[in-house]
């Protein structure tokens, strides 16, 4: 793979694997069965990123699975989306974060920092040099040596709280700072009870006027000096401070090696609830106990999927990816004094009963993250669906991007896909009828979308251009609606999901109507160019047309990427392109066409373009979501061996458990989910079908503990980096010639056996009857083998 980290020292790379630099023995132990799965994870995977080029755009999140809060060291400005970057040299704090993406930025954040000597308040001036050699990153804890202060800082999480442990040298002037950050904040020092309380309000949209994150920080040492600072960074002895950007400092005299512990919790409901969260989740636990509980929580979730293989690098990549998948969407609910589930609503500003989840962009995650939840975590998926019901009732719309409330980011009405997929695959325990009505509202409404004082839409809800779409079958290119072709394709995919949901609910007329609309992609297929193309209101084509032009009619991609976004009907696309042979040739061309591009729509080369350009895979842009399913489309065209080759090639070249370990933005688990599914040997190309296209399993042996209580074992005989081609498949001892697996069959467990080889078996899975679902029936003219 193209690797900046390859230029770094092997020592630094070892430090990033979630162990310290002296981790030789620990690495050797990875081959032993007793190694905890969580200790295979590298939380720094993907952190070698920037605005210009993303190798993940991740940060080392210290959290429990789906936790309401995460914690991360900060090397940049705390208000920057790039809070932790691998190449940075200084750390200025460890902050509570809710950031789903650097492009969305953070909200409700505050940070803690330890110092000795002369007190330094400013975020830049207080930063301490650190080294990855003296940094230990795990999902359940983070530890770093702050060299300028001779202090070791550690943090261990719960869902709504955390414990810090600061180990100081001998000092008369040891300090711990709580920076409440800019955007509206308050701090109060209670020296008698060794406590700091307050709130933060920083956000980047999607919240009502009464939004607060209340916090409490409980210390185990008396304070020798207490101070607060104002918006200008001026310190005084005042114990109460409120403003735009305030903070607090408490100081101590310490012996060499003395540890100061801080228990921290927060709440979006009230200061009292913050204290309750602290009592409920930490109480009298020691730091080590909190750390052990967090580690156990991860191990419980990760152990649902055990992969075994002699290649430890692949196992590290797999579990590092799974760790990313199990962070979002995060819980946005708490427990009251009676243990009842309640939540503050970022939609109406009130406190309600029930579940709520947030920090998710469905444009990304409907593709593979939510199908994984439906397959392996249906109980969690049910809670998320209950949260969507609450969102609709409290805000009037389904969210398409929530952080924490509605955000105007990305396009489509992709909430329909994950709702229908959950329901079709047996997830229950939520009000499906209400969500169906919400899906219909999203699919039929663009008017009434919330706007600001300038008339600009501020919340991505409904479908922009839906009136044109419902009348013409597409969103026109020439009516001032950007990304119109992409919108048309995404609306058609969502319409298919609605039709599947309608059918399951017995709404046959709706099912037929939305199945008809799901074929609207045909309206934008240009037979002359052979690509999806923008179309004007009068039916004429967008002119001039450059298939290499990013943006414009498309979203973060070009015609060569979006022309495959017909997940619900690959057979229909095969027919439009002239049959199987021509379809396969065109798929091949994506990998062989040079990575030329036109970035004129953006006025700059956006990072997604650069990530496609540099990996030597032609026009294939795996770093962004619209084309990630494309390698699996060979399964529909009688050439499954090409799927097998490409998915293994992508896994090998574009993923690694290193700082540059992703091919582009990780995006709330979606790019990780592609790897996790693909490594297991199958992938959910189309939502709400209950099917998974078969690829090429990466591991020799995988054991999945299914929600049904049964076990699914996936073995790949003769598997190796060279033996990527499927020779044969059996499921529970019976030959399996289909290029897909069903949800129902996987759920029932059993043994799925692949026999692998170094040369393609061009007879397996190539018949028209062997292919996965398509809305269009296979055409007799496209049944030839390529």
Which SS3 state, helix, strand or coil, does residue 300 take? helix
Looking at residue 760, its pLDDT comes to 98
Give the list of residues 6+ apart from residue 686 with CB closer than 8 angstroms, or none: 496, 567, 568, 772, 773
Looking at residue 462, its pLDDT comes to 86
Name the residue among 406, 414, 403 with its Cα closest to residue 371.
414
Handedness of CA 457, 460, 461, 467 (dihedral sign): positive
Domain boundary among the residues 302, 322, 344 is at 302
pLDDT in tens, 143-155: 999 999 999 999 9
Handedness of CA 111, 116, 119, 123 (dihedral sign): negative
pTM here?
0.94
Domain boundary among the residues 287, 302, 317 is at 302
Looking at residue 445, its pLDDT comes to 86
pLDDT of residue 458 exceeding 60: no
Cα separation, 586 vs 531, in Å, equals 10
The domain in which residue 16 lies consists of 5-302
Q: Beta-carbon neighbour count of residue 748 at 10 Å?
A: 13
Cis, bond preceding 329 (omega within 30 deg of 0): yes
pLDDT in tens, 725-756: 999 999 999 999 999 999 999 999 999 999 99
* Dihedral angle over CA of 654, 655, 661, 662, nearest 10: 70
Contact indicator for 334, 160 with CB cutoff of 8 Å? yes
DSSP at 206:
S
Looking at residue 77, its pLDDT comes to 82
- Does residue 346 sit within a domain? yes
326 and 252 together in one domain? no
pLDDT of residue 25 exceeding 80: no
In DSSP terms, 151 is beta-bridged to: 146
Strands 734-735 and 725-731: antiparallel
Domain boundary among the residues 242, 277, 302 is at 302
309 and 297 together in one domain? no
pLDDT in tens, 543-562: 999 999 999 999 999 999 99
610 and 580 together in one domain? yes
Give the list of residues 6+ apart from residue 368 with CB closer than 8 angstroms, or none: 628, 670, 673, 674, 676, 677, 683, 684
290 and 347 together in one domain? no
Helix 432-444 crosses helix 484-504 at what angle (to 10 degrees)? Answer: 150
Looking at residue 457, its pLDDT comes to 58
Looking at residue 571, its pLDDT comes to 97
Backbone torsion region of residue 159, taken as left when φ is above 0, otherwise alpha when ψ lies between -120 and 50, otherwise beta: alpha
615 and 557 together in one domain? yes
pLDDT in tens, 156-211: 999 999 999 999 999 999 999 999 999 999 999 999 999 999 999 999 999 999 99
Which SS3 state, helix, strand or coil, does residue 722 take? coil
Looking at residue 543, its pLDDT comes to 97
- Does residue 607 sit within a domain? yes
pLDDT of residue 784 exceeding 50: no
What band does 448 get if pLDDT is binned at 50, 70 and 90? low
Which SS3 state, helix, strand or coil, does residue 684 take? coil
Cα separation, 175 vs 242, in Å, equals 21
pLDDT in tens, 633-665: 999 999 999 999 999 999 999 999 999 999 999
> Please, what is the Cα angle at 118 between 116 and 123, to 5 degrees?
85
Instruction: Specify the DSSP element, H or E, that contains 319.
Output: helix 312-325
pLDDT in tens, 392-417: 999 999 999 999 999 999 999 999 99
pLDDT in tens, 324-339: 999 999 999 999 999 9
Contact indicator for 257, 167 with CB cutoff of 8 Å? yes
Looking at residue 459, its pLDDT comes to 59
Cα separation, 715 vs 751, in Å, equals 8
Give the list of residues 6+ apart from residue 682 with CB closer than 8 angstroms, or none: 692, 693, 694, 695, 740, 741
628 and 482 together in one domain? yes
What band does 1 get if pLDDT is binned at 50, 70 and 90? very low
pLDDT of residue 272 exceeding 80: yes
What band does 34 get if pLDDT is binned at 50, 70 and 90? low
- Does residue 186 sit within a domain? yes
Which SS3 state, helix, strand or coil, does residue 592 take? helix
- Does residue 631 sit within a domain? yes
pLDDT in tens, 668-677: 999 999 999 9
Q: What is the CATH number of the domain that holds 626?
A: 1.20.1610.10
At residue 322, φ and ψ (nearest 5 deg) are -65, -40
Q: Worst-scoring range by mean pLDDT, 23-27, 166-170, 266-270?
A: 23-27
pLDDT of residue 23 exceeding 50: no
The pLDDT > 90 percentage for the chain reads 91
Cα separation, 648 vs 722, in Å, equals 10
Instruction: Specify the DSSP element, H or E, that contains 46.
Output: none
Farthest CA pair distance, the chain: 85
pLDDT in tens, 675-727: 999 999 999 999 999 999 999 999 999 999 999 999 999 999 999 999 999 99
- Does residue 152 sit within a domain? yes
pLDDT of residue 282 exceeding 60: yes
Residue bearing the bigger pLDDT, 23 or 367? 367
Cα separation, 269 vs 24, in Å, equals 46
* Dihedral angle over CA of 384, 387, 389, 391, nearest 10: -130
pLDDT of residue 140 exceeding 60: yes
- Rounded average pLDDT over 381-391: 98
The pLDDT > 70 percentage for the chain reads 93
Contact indicator for 662, 55 with CB cutoff of 8 Å? yes
Q: How many domains are contained in the chain?
A: 2
pLDDT of residue 440 exceeding 90: yes
Q: Mean pLDDT, the chain, as a whole number?
A: 93
Q: Beta-carbon neighbour count of residue 545 at 10 Å?
A: 17
- Does residue 180 sit within a domain? yes
pLDDT of residue 268 exceeding 70: yes
Give the list of residues 6+ apart from residue 9 with CB closer than 8 angstroms, or none: none
244 and 309 together in one domain? no
pLDDT in tens, 51-102: 999 999 999 999 999 999 999 999 998 778 999 999 999 999 999 999 999 9
Cα separation, 35 vs 295, in Å, equals 12
Our separate counts of H helices and E strands in the chain read 20, 34
Cα separation, 765 vs 771, in Å, equals 7
**Structure-block tokens of residue 137:** 């990153």
What band does 19 get if pLDDT is binned at 50, 70 and 90? very low
309 and 454 together in one domain? yes
Beta strands in 596-638 (DSSP E): none
Q: What is the CATH number of the domain that holds 157?
A: 2.70.98.10
pLDDT in tens, 571-628: 999 999 999 999 999 999 999 999 999 999 999 999 999 999 999 999 999 999 999 9
- Does residue 784 sit within a domain? no
Name the residue among 130, 116, 183, 142 with its Cα closest to residue 60.
142
250 and 373 together in one domain? no
133 and 227 together in one domain? yes
- Rounded average pLDDT over 560-574: 98
Name the residue among 717, 676, 698, 550 with its Cα closest to residue 624.
550
280 and 336 together in one domain? no
- Does residue 454 sit within a domain? yes
- Rounded average pLDDT over 282-305: 98
333 and 268 together in one domain? no
**Gap between the terminal Cα atoms of the chain:** 30
Q: Beta-carbon neighbour count of residue 234 at 10 Å?
A: 9
Looking at residue 9, its pLDDT comes to 28
């Amino acid at each position: 793979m193209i690797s900046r980290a390859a230029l770094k020292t092997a020592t630094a790379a070892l430090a990033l694997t979630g162990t310290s630099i002296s981790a030789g023995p620990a690495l050797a132990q990875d081959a032993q069965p007793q190694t905890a799965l969580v200790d295979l994870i590298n939380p720094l995977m993907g952190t070698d990123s920037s605005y210009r080029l993303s190798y993940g755009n991740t940060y080392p999140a210290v959290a429990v699975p789906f936790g309401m809060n995460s914690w991360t060291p900060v090397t940049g400005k705390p208000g920057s989306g790039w809070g932790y970057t691998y190449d940075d040299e200084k750390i200025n704090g460890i902050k509570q974060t809710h950031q789903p993406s650097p492009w969305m930025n953070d909200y409700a954040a505050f940070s803690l920092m330890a110092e000795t000597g002369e007190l330094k308040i400013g975020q830049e001036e207080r930063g301490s040099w650190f080294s990855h050699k003296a940094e230990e990153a795990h999902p359940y804890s983070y530890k770093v040596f702050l060299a300028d202060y001779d202090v070791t800082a550690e943090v261990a999480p719960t869902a709504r709280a955390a414990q810090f442990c600061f180990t100081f040298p001998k000092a008369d002037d040891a300090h711990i700072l709580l920076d409440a950050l800019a955007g509206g904040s308050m701090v109060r020092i209670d020296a008698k009870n060794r406590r700091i309380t307050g709130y933060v309000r920083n956000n980047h949209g999607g919240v009502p006027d009464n939004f607060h994150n209340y916090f409490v920080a409980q210390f185990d040492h008396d304070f020798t000096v207490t101070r607060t600072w104002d918006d200008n960074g001026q310190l005084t002895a005042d114990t109460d401070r409120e403003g735009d950007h305030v903070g607090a400092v408490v100081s101590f005299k310490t012996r060499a090696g003395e540890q100061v512990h801080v228990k921290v919790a927060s709440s979006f409901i009230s200061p009292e609830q913050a204290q309750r969260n602290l009592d409920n989740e930490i109480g009298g636990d020691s730091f080590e106990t909190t750390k052990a509980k967090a580690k156990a929580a991860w191990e419980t979730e990760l152990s649902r999927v055990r992969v075994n293989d002699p290649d430890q690098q692949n196992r590290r990549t797999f579990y590092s990816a799974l760790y990313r998948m199990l962070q979002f969407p995060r819980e946005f609910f708490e427990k009251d004094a009676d243990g009842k589930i309640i939540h503050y609503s970022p939609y109406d500003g009130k406190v309600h009963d029930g579940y709520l989840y947030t920090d998710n962009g469905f444009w990304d995650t409907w593709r593979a993250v939510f199908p994984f939840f439906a397959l392996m975590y249906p109980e969690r998926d049910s809670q998320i669906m209950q949260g969507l019901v609450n969102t609709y009732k409290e805000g009037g719309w389904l969210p398409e991007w929530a952080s924490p409330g509605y955000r105007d980011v990305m396009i489509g009405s992709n909430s329909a896909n994950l709702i229908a997929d959950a329901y079709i695959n047996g997830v229950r325990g939520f009000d499906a009828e209400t969500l169906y009505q919400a899906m219909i509202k999203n699919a039929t409404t663009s008017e009434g979308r919330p706007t600001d004082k300038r008339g600009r839409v501020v919340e991505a809800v409904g479908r922009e251009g839906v009136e044109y779409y419902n009348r013409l079958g597409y969103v026109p290119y020439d009516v001032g609606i950007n990304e119109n072709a992409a919108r048309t394709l995404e609306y058609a995919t969502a319409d298919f999901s609605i039709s599947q949901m309608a059918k399951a609910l017995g709404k046959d007329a709706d099912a037929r109507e939305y199945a008809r609309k799901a074929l609207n992609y045909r309206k934008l297929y240009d037979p002359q160019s052979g690509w999806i193309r923008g179309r004007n209101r009068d039916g004429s084509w967008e002119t001039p047309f450059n298939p290499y032009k990013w943006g414009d009619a498309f979203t973060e991609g070009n015609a060569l990427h979006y022309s495959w976004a017909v997940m619900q009907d690959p057979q229909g696309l095969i027919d439009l392109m002239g049959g199987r042979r021509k379809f396969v040739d065109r798929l091949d061309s994506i990998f062989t066409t040079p990575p030329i591009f036109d970035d004129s729509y953006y006025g700059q080369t956006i990072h997604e373009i650069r990530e496609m350009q540099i990996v030597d895979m032609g026009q294939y842009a795996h770093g962004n979501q619209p084309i990630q399913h494309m390698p699996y489309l060979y399964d529909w065209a009688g050439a499954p061996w090409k799927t097998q080759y490409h998915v293994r090639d992508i896994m090998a070249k574009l993923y690694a458990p290193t700082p540059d370990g992703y091919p582009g933005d990780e995006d709330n688990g979606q790019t990780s989910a592609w790897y996790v599914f693909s490594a297991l040997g199958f992938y959910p190309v189309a939502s709400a079908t209950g099917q998974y296209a078969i690829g090429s399993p990466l591991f020799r042996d995988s054991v999945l503990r299914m929600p049904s209580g049964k076990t699914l074992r996936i073995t790949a005989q003769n598997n190796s980096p060279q033996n990527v081609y499927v020779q044969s498949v059996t499921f529970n001892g019976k030959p399996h010639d289909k290029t897909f697996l069903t949800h129902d069959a996987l759920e029932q467990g059993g043994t799925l056996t692949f026999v692998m080889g170094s040369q393609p078996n061009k007879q397996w899975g190539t018949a028209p009857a062997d292919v996965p679902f398509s809305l269009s029936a296979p055409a007799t003219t496209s049944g030839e083998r390529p």
